[in-house]
Structure 1
Amino acid sequence: MKFSLLSLMAVLLLVGCQKKESDKNLHITGHVKGLMKGTLYIQKIVDTSLVAIDTIKIDGNSEFSSDFDIDSPQMFYLFLDRGVTNSLDNNLPFFVEPGNIRIETELDRFLSGAKITGSKNNEKFEEFKKVKSRFTDQNLELMEQKLNAYRFNNNAKLIDSLERMQDANLKRLYLYTTNFAINNKDLEVAPYLALAEIPNIHLKYLDTIQKSMTPKVAKSFYGKKLIEFYKERQSAEQKQP
């Protein structure tokens, strides 16, 4: 009888633990290769500030896990506190959605070495970032050429030409972002990119993006934010003389 009672308690405890795990709809696991001691923070933006929603102490075992309830796919950040610097290189953005998400990265290449699986939105976010980096690199090259033009000969004609090239590069980036959002209208990353990357684009492009969203995306966290932001900008521009 004693053995049966203990067995029953063990089964009930196991069931209770399983039920507890199932209460959360987002399960994040990860590994930071080379990290033996430190602190990881999982963060998200609340209003306009990054807020830690979980703190994970690493002491010998660089595996970590964290569970959340989320109403809608959204952007999270994995911040590594090295105890030395709060560089942006220590903050890894990743798009979460309900399900199981895995983060594999390295201490020495926390951003560049990161591989994230389990999120369709994050796959598209990474795809966007790769193309955006090419626009960014081109803009940096043009900026360097413009600085040299100022420094060495103050060539006004060359400077004007370089500035026009910068403007054209920015316009191409904005159009690429718009098309990317429209082509991914069934994912929550679409309104996120509109809000985060091109909030000051011509209103007609924001209108096109918001109208292209599927009903599910329009009801999401970023979908609602985009619709609200569009209405605010529309109202403000209508009041302008």
Structure 2
Amino acid sequence: MKSLLVFFTLILFFSCSKKNKNMEIVMNIEGFKKGKVSLQKVSDSTLITVDSVFVNNESPLNLSYDLKSPELFYITIDVSKNDKTLEFFGEKGEIIINSKLKNFSSEFKVRNSFNDSIYRNYLEIIRRFNFEELDLIKSSIEMTKLKQNDSLIKIQEKIQVLNKRKALFNLNFAVNNGNSSVAPLIAINNFSESKVLLDTIIKSLDKEIINSKYGKELKIIYDSN
């Protein structure tokens, strides 16, 4: 009788512990039948697992974490000893993620995350910049092989202009989205060595964002410059 009481107490403890997490993820992975699914985040430059579940034909699956402010998370699935990972912006509340096993890392949709919707818009435009730069680099390599120096110089000038456009986009996007944790993350990744630009972005941030995970990290970088 005593052991039975302990058993039910443990079940109640773990059940309550799971429900107390303020970020709940409901996930559907089309084509995924069996394997481990892990929720991960970066802590002190190390990728750590904060929750996991073993799937055996169950759908949807549930993951959770108790976070203090929005930040990037990663969901990894173990398929035949090969890991596949997708990245999303987590925040408090229920987040729904739909993906497919075949293109797990690229073909997925995230719902109910304000910060992730802003992050997707940002990534889409950055992707265009990167494709444009890649095309110019390919042309540059071709002109180098053909020893077309005049054409090569023009291409290099185009790359410089593109990089300036990209930097300006990053700055404007961060300033115009001061109500999102995406803004300080952009600043950290792109302007960590420019105190003037960091100051511009910090002044545009909502108080809540300044006190968030990435806001605090940004302030540390700013103060160290």
Query: What TM-score results when the alignment is normalised by the length of structure 2?
Result: 0.88
Deviations 1:15-49 (A, max 9, x none): 98885454211111101000112222211111222
Task: Say which SS state the counterpart of residue 79 (structure 1) adopts.
Answer: strand
Alignment of 1:222-237 (within 5 A): 222-232=214-224, 234=225
**SS of the residue 1:35 aligns to:** coil
Letter in 1 for 2:155: L
Structure 2: gaps (5+ residues):
1-11
| Change over 3 Å in CA distance of 1:181–1:75 after alignment to 2 | same
Taking the TM superposition and a 5 Å limit, the aligned residue runs for 1:1-241 are 20-86=17-83, 90-151=84-145, 153-196=146-189, 198-200=190-192, 202-232=194-224, 234=225
Superposition misfits of 4+ residues, deviation over 6 angstroms: 15-18
CA–CA distance in structure 2, aligned partners of residues 47 and 170 of structure 1:
30
Contact 2:192-2:198 within 8 A present in 1 as well: no
* Conserved 8 A contact 2:86-2:106: no
Larger radius of gyration: 1
Report the Cα offset of residue 98 of structure 1.
0.7
Partners of 1:79 and 1:177 in 2: how far apart? 28
Letter in 2 for 1:46: S
Structure 1 stretches lacking a partner, 5+ long:
1-14, 235-241
Which amino acid is 1:164 matched to?
E
Shift in Å, 1:84? 4.8
> Residues 21 and 51 (structure 1 numbering): CA distance in 2 closer, same or farther, change over 3 Å?
closer
Change in Cα spacing, 1:200 to 1:70, as seen in structure 2 (3 Å) is closer
Identical aligned residues as a percent: 28
TM-score after normalising by structure 1? 0.83
Q: Distance in 2 between matches of 1:92 and 1:123?
A: 15
Rounded to whole Å, the distance in 2 between the matches of 1:41 and 1:16 is: 22
User: Cα distance 1:83–1:167, how it changes in 2: closer, same or farther (>3 A)?
Assistant: farther
Contact 1:174–1:201 (8 Å) recurs in 2: no
Cα gap change, 1:84 to 1:158, in 2 (>3 Å):
farther
Give the Cα–Cα distance (whole angstroms) in 1 for the partners of residues 152 and 25 of structure 2. Answer: 49
Is the CA contact 1:25–1:99 (under 8 Å) kept in the aligned structure 2? yes
Asked if the contact 2:27–2:97 (Cα under 8 Å) also holds between the matched residues in 1, the reply is yes
Shift of 1:57: 1.6
Please state how far the C-alpha of 1:200 moved relative to its aligned partner: 4.7
Aligned to 2:52, the other structure's residue is in SS state: strand
Question: What value does the CA root-mean-square deviation take over the aligned residues?
Answer: 2.3
> Any conservation in 1 of the 2:71–2:90 contact (CA below 8 Å)?
yes
